[in-house]
């Protein structure tokens, strides 16, 4: 028999008791939430990240989120029991991300399985605490909201110590009509709350979504936008910042991008800010055959290790077919964690090539952000830059980004700029991109060739594995039609 809960009111009374003086719908004060977090007796996300970096291993974290409360609790406890991730995730549903809290509540009460994540605001902070207390690993909120203030407040009341997103990275890739000034202002409020929590002795890890649109994102675009969000966060009082980068698929370029993160932190952020590099395993078109997908998962974990990442967000062999089941998530976590083996300490990368890539990335990031950071009002500067195209992201859903830049892979698979649009790159940096792309004979300017080329670049790893569209997957592994 399936257990069910009676219908909830928004932020209504879940299982458990409210602290004295609280109604079912009120939130604890920041001081009360900080005291709860301190009294939990478990490490915060910031403490876990620092411990992993100090020990030389990469923290492992899955993506996971379902609508029902019991189902979410079972998912978290199963992942912890079977795979022992360092940090666990609450992926939030789309209604909550867009502040459609009543719709999230109606769907939760009607059919929770219709939600594509956990509606934390609808469930309420007491249920959030139930989830938190059911596992020993700290929790992170992953979502995609341009205005996450209410979600953040409920998360903190739940005792959650890591919160992903930013005013650019959680707007332009996802939303069509949210002005940048609004989203950047909303995220400044979140970051100020993190500063207040730090004053109460609780450090919240603020992870920035440098992944952006996740497909063919040039490293310097990813890192430049993270620098802007990181500077804004640090100025608002954030003490721990994780800068996430999406695996592009070229070993030297990806390792270089990860190694650029501490260099950029030293260049642009206040001394004493805790900064961590995070790698998202490849978020483009995934191989369909199980063995190929698992090879890519392990490869991504090795990139994270070689790049000095503090954390890896994992993938599963079911990635090409939709939302993975619990068993696939467990196996993806276990596989990725094997890259932490001390037996792999002999692994090295081509250091000269990595140094060359780092030089190019750091130079391009400087071209993109140095002038902006000189302005007194950084939010206004960022809004103006996107309006003028001097900041841009590829394939954006938003009317507030031009999406004039066109990325392509070079002959070795590294992501370069076929068109830089209005980005303020130096002549030397433009010429280097042109030269690297000209070494690939099939890069042409014609529209038909461009569309075909972009499609091929997006399908990069399926091409590497020489997969066709006739490959299917079963619960036991791949099968060919």
Active-site residues, by number, are 97, 164
**Based on C-alpha coordinates, what's the Rg of the chain?**
22
Residue 151: other Cβ atoms inside 10 A:
23
Q: List beta partners, residue 142.
A: 91
Residue 105 neighbours by CB under 8 Å, 6+ apart:
8, 9, 10, 119, 122
Query: Does residue 95 contact residue 104 with C-beta atoms inside 8 Å?
Result: yes
Gap between the Cα atoms of 46 and 37, Å rounded: 13
Nearest residue to 209 (alpha-carbon basis) of 270, 156, 144: 144
Strands (E), 32-101: 59-61, 88-91
- What is the distance of C-alpha 332 from the center of its chain? 17
Query: Does residue 393 contact residue 289 with C-beta atoms inside 8 Å?
Result: no
| Phi-psi category of residue 124: left, alpha or beta, with phi > 0 → left and psi -120 to 50 → alpha | left
φ/ψ of residue 467, rounded to 5:
-85, 150
Residue 377 neighbours by CB under 8 Å, 6+ apart:
none
Gap between the Cα atoms of 24 and 18, Å rounded: 7
Residue linked to tokens 């590099």: 277
Residue 361: other Cβ atoms inside 10 A:
23
Residue 383 is encoded by which pair of tokens?
């809004």
Gap between the Cα atoms of 133 and 377, Å rounded: 41
DSSP 303: H
Q: List beta partners, residue 141.
A: 90, 163
Gap between the Cα atoms of 315 and 74, Å rounded: 20
Query: Does residue 210 contact residue 164 with C-beta atoms inside 8 Å?
Result: no
Residue 330 is encoded by which pair of tokens?
């467990």
| Phi-psi category of residue 220: left, alpha or beta, with phi > 0 → left and psi -120 to 50 → alpha | alpha
Query: Does residue 174 contact residue 209 with C-beta atoms inside 8 Å?
Result: no
Q: Are strands 240-246 and 205-208 parallel, antiparallel or unpaired?
A: parallel
Strands (E), 247-310: 274-280
């Amino acid at each position: 028999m399936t257990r069910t809960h009676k219908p909830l009111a928004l932020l209504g009374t879940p299982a458990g008791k409210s602290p004295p003086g609280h109604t079912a719908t009120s939130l604890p004060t920041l001081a009360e939430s900080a005291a709860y977090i301190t009294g939990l007796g478990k490490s915060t996300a910031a403490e876990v990240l620092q411990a992993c970096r100090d020990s030389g291993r990469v923290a492992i974290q899955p993506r996971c989120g379902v609508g029902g409360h019991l189902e979410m609790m079972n998912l978290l406890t199963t992942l912890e029991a079977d795979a022992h991730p360092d940090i666990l995730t609450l992926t939030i549903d789309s209604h909550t991300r867009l502040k459609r809290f009543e719709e999230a509540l109606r769907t939760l009460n009607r059919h929770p399985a219709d939600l594509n994540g956990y509606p934390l605001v609808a469930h309420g902070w007491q249920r959030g605490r139930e989830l938190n207390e059911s596992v020993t690993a700290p929790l992170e909120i992953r979502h995609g909201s341009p205005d996450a203030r209410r979600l953040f407040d409920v998360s903190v009341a739940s005792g959650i110590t890591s919160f992903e997103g930013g005013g650019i990275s959680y707007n332009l890739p996802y939303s069509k009509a949210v002005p940048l000034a609004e989203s950047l202002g909303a995220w400044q409020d979140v970051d100020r709350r993190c500063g207040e929590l730090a004053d109460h002795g609780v450090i919240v890890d603020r992870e920035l979504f440098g992944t952006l649109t996740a497909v063919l994102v040039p490293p310097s675009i990813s890192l430049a936008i993270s620098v802007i969000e990181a500077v804004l966060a640090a100025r608002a009082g954030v003490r721990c910042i994780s800068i996430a980068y999406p695996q592009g698929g070229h070993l030297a370029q990806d390792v270089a991008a990860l190694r650029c993160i501490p260099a950029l932190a030293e260049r642009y952020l206040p001394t004493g800010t805790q900064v961590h590099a995070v790698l998202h395993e490849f978020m483009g078109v995934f191989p369909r055959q199980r063995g190929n997908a698992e090879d890519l998962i392990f490869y991504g974990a090795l990139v994270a290790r070689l790049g000095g990442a503090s954390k890896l967000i994992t993938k599963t062999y079911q990635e090409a077919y939709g939302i993975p089941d619990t068993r696939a998530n467990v196996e993806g976590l276990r596989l990725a964690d094997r890259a932490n083996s001390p037996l792999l300490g002999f692994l090295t990368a081509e250091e000269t090539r990595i140094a060359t890539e780092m030089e190019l990335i750091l130079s391009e990031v400087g071209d993109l952000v140095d002038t902006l950071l000189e302005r007194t009002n950084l939010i206004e500067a960022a809004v103006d830059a996107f309006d003028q195209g001097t900041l841009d992201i590829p394939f954006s859903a938003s009317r507030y980004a031009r999406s004039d830049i066109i990325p392509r892979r070079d002959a070795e698979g590294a992501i370069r700029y076929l068109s830089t649009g209005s980005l303020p790159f130096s002549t030397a940096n433009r010429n280097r991109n042109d030269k690297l792309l000209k070494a690939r004979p099939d890069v042409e300017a014609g529209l038909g060739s461009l569309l075909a080329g972009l499609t091929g670049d997006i399908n990069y790893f399926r091409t590497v594995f020489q997969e066709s569209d006739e490959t299917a997957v079963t619960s036991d592994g791949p099968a060919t039609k």
